[in-house]
Amino acid sequence: MYQLALLYLACILAGFGLASVPTSAVITAGLAGFFEIVGGIAVIVFGLALLYLGVKALLGK
């Protein structure tokens, strides 16, 4: 379960990275907005998964 928690933490960091992709000539403004939305959703989903694992470990189940 420890490795799964580290994987979720890595996914959260990847979500933050995806949300803060700098816009350039290759990445248009519309695509940058898409990356922000997908990154935000990833951070929320995997953050909730980490909270679930923490509560599960706390209760001993």
Residues in contact with 36: Cβ distance below 8 Å, sequence separation at least 6, in sequence order: 18, 19
Cα distances (angstroms) measured from residue 41 to each of 16, 34, 49: 10, 11, 12
Average pLDDT over residues 42-61: 87
pLDDT category at 1 given cuts 50, 70, 90 is low
pTM for this model (two decimals): 0.76
> Among 36, 39, 32, 31, which residue's Cα sits nearest to residue 13?
39
Per-domain residue ranges of the chain: 2-59
pLDDT category at 2 given cuts 50, 70, 90 is confident
Q: What pLDDT is stored for residue 6 in this prediction?
A: 87
Q: How far apart are CA 30 and CA 33, in angstroms?
A: 5
pLDDT tens digits, one per residue of 15-43 = 888 878 776 656 666 777 888 888 889 99
